[in-house]
Chain A
């Protein structure tokens, strides 16, 4: 089971802050699986500027995921 988190604009667009699912594969594949949940999901995950972190470290699309990983998707950061 992996845990997936969404933040800021993405969380609002999806109406979801977190979910758990059984998945093995890489980040790109996870995006494809999540995109099947509906049109909002497909649109949000197709944006080319969304960022991904795996276990709280920024990760690329080809990073492979294993059980109990925490994966987060979020827009470019705007702190400071």
Chain B
């Protein structure tokens, strides 16, 4: 299986990444792109700082990809997560999955994203329009989303 896991400050090109997953054996490629929203909890967010735990981040994502590959027959998985400062409208994360048929690709993509949200050691800090900043709290809805795969 093709696996590409990157944690980087730079933006990514979705078209290039999907091209890497395309092959004559894979009938389906599913992608999820997370984008930074300008508003959160009713406030305007000027920018966001993404911190992570170098080393553990990559290991935890690779472990999630392995779990997905045990559940579904996947041909390729690409996960790219950005760190550092991000602005509204910018891409944060890409999860792209290729498989023979769409069911495995859809499910694998959703599974990986749900567990990335609850297990990979990233933390977001928001800079608000009034000059203050705050750490984003974990959401119980994200735990629920991961829980349903158990």
B34 and A77 contact, CB distance less than 8 A: no
Q: Write out the residue numbers on chain B whose beta carbons fall within 8 Å of the beta carbon of A74.
A: 53, 121, 123
A79 and B120 contact, CB distance less than 8 A: yes
Q: Check: A56 CB closer than 8 A to any chain B CB.
A: yes
Identify A8's interface contact among B34, B51, B81, CB under 8 A: B51
A75 and B51 contact, CB distance less than 8 A: no
A9 and B92 contact, CB distance less than 8 A: no
A80 and B113 contact, CB distance less than 8 A: yes
B122 and A5 contact, CB distance less than 8 A: no
Which residues in chain B, 57-97, are within 8 Å of chain A measured between CB atoms? Answer: 59-60, 81, 92-93
- Contact size class for B? 20 to 34
Q: Check: A76 CB closer than 8 A to any chain B CB.
A: yes
A80 and B53 contact, CB distance less than 8 A: no
Identify A7's interface contact among B53, B60, B92, B113, CB under 8 A: B53
30 A-B pairs (CB sep. < 8 Å): A7-B123, A8-B51, A8-B125, A9-B135, A53-B53, A53-B56, A56-B56, A57-B59, A72-B56, A75-B135, A76-B137, A77-B117, A77-B120, A77-B121, A77-B122, A77-B138, A78-B135, A78-B137, A79-B50, A79-B81, A79-B93, A79-B117, A79-B120, A80-B92, A80-B93, A80-B113, A80-B116, A80-B117, A80-B122, A80-B142
- Contact size class for A? 10 to 19
Q: Write out the residue numbers on chain A whose beta carbons fall within 8 Å of the beta carbon of B56.
A: 53, 56-57, 72
Which residues in chain B, 106-126, are within 8 Å of chain A measured between CB atoms? Answer: 113, 116-125
What's the minimum C-beta distance from A12 to chain B, rounded to whole angstroms?
Answer: 8
A72 and B124 contact, CB distance less than 8 A: no
What's the minimum C-beta distance from A47 to chain B, rounded to whole angstroms?
Answer: 13
Answer whether A56 and B92 are a contact pair too, CB < 8 Å, given A7-B121, A79-B123, A80-B34.
no
